[in-house]
C-alpha cells in the first residue's frame, strides 16, 4: 500500500506543452513533492491525454505516485496510480473496480466529516478537506475549520489531506492539527523556482512526520 504523507502537488489548469508541464513537475518533485495529481478542466481531451501521459512518465521515473483529477477513464487509459473524485465525479467503489485494488482513490469532502466517513466506508485511500484559507485556484470554495482536521484524525483510519490557500507559513498549523498531506497548486507553480518552493513545504515534514 502506498504511504501517503508530505507535499501533494496538483498541476495548474494550463495549455503548456506536455514536455513543459512534465519538466515543471519534475522540478517540484526534486524539491520534495510526494504525490502528484494531474488536474485540467479544459475540453481538449487530446491535450489532457498527452499532458497526463507526460507527467505520469516523470512521476514513474522518480518513484512518485501519480493520480488524475476526476477522470477515471483517463486514469485507466494512461495507467495512472489512481484518481481523485470531487462531489460530482462518481463513486469510489466504482473507481476502484475500474482501476484495481491497489489504486489510490481520493475523495473531496470539503468541510464535511460525514462525507469523509462515507468515503472511508466506500474504500477511499484518503479524504481531502478545504479550503482552509482563501484560494486563487478556487476562490469560492467552501471554507473548512482547522479543528476539522483534529476531529478527522481521531475519527478516521485513512489520511486527511488539507487544501486551499496553503503556504509554508500556515501549513505547519494544518499538519499539527492532523493533516497528513498538504495539497498545493499556486504555492509551487506560481513561484519562480519550483524546486525551492516545493522544498519549503517539504521542510514542514521530517521523514513523513510533522515536526
Strands 104-110 and 82-85 turn out to be parallel
Q: What cell numbers appear for 102 in the block? A: 491497489
The answer to whether 39 is a known catalytic residue is: yes
Question: Residue for cell digits 483534529?
Answer: 150
Rounded Cα–Cα distance for residues 151 and 149 (Å): 5
Name the catalytic one among 57, 60, 117, 138: 138
Rounded Cα–Cα distance for residues 129 and 164 (Å): 9
The answer to whether 108 is a known catalytic residue is: yes
Name the catalytic one among 24, 39, 48, 96: 39
Rounded Cα–Cα distance for residues 159 and 168 (Å): 20
Give Cβ neighbours of residue 52 (< 8 Å, ≥ 6 apart): 38, 40, 68, 74, 78, 80
Rounded Cα–Cα distance for residues 173 and 81 (Å): 29
Cβ atoms of residues 167 and 191 within 8 Å: no
The answer to whether 41 is a known catalytic residue is: no
Composition of the chain by helix, strand, coil, percent to 5? 40, 20, 40
Name the catalytic one among 56, 108, 131, 180: 108
Catalogue the active-site residues.
39, 108, 138
Amino acid at each position: 500500500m502506498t504511504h501517503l504523507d508530505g507535499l501533494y502537488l496538483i498541476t495548474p489548469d494550463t495549455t503548456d506543452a506536455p514536455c513543459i508541464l512534465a519538466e515543471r513537475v519534475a522540478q517540484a518533485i526534486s524539491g520534495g513533492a510526494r504525490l502528484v495529481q494531474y488536474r485540467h478542466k479544459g475540453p481538449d481531451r487530446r491535450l489532457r491525454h498527452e499532458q497526463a501521459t507526460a507527467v505520469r512518465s516523470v512521476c514513474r521515473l522518480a518513484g512518485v505516485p501519480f493520480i488524475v483529477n476526476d477522470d477515471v477513464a483517463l486514469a485507466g487509459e494512461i495507467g495512472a496510480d489512481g484518481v481523485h473524485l470531487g462531489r460530482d465525479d462518481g463513486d469510489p467503489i466504482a473507481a476502484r473496480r475500474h482501476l484495481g485494488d491497489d489504486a489510490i482513490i481520493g475523495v473531496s469532502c470539503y468541510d464535511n466529516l460525514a462525507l469523509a466517513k462515507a468515503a472511508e466506508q466506500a474504500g477511499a485511500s484518503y479524504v481531502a478537506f478545504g479550503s482552509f484559507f482563501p484560494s486563487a485556484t478556487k476562490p469560492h470554495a467552501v471554507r473548512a475549520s482547522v479543528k476539522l482536521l483534529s476531529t478527522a484524525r481521531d475519527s478516521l483510519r485513512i489520511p486527511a489531506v488539507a487544501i486551499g490557500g496553503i503556504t509554508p507559513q500556515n501549513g505547519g498549523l494544518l499538519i499539527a492539527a492532523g493533516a497528513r498531506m498538504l495539497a498545493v497548486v499556486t504555492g509551487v507553480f506560481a513561484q519562480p523556482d519550483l524546486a525551492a518552493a516545493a522544498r519549503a513545504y517539504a521542510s514542514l515534514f521530517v521523514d513523513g512526520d510533522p515536526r
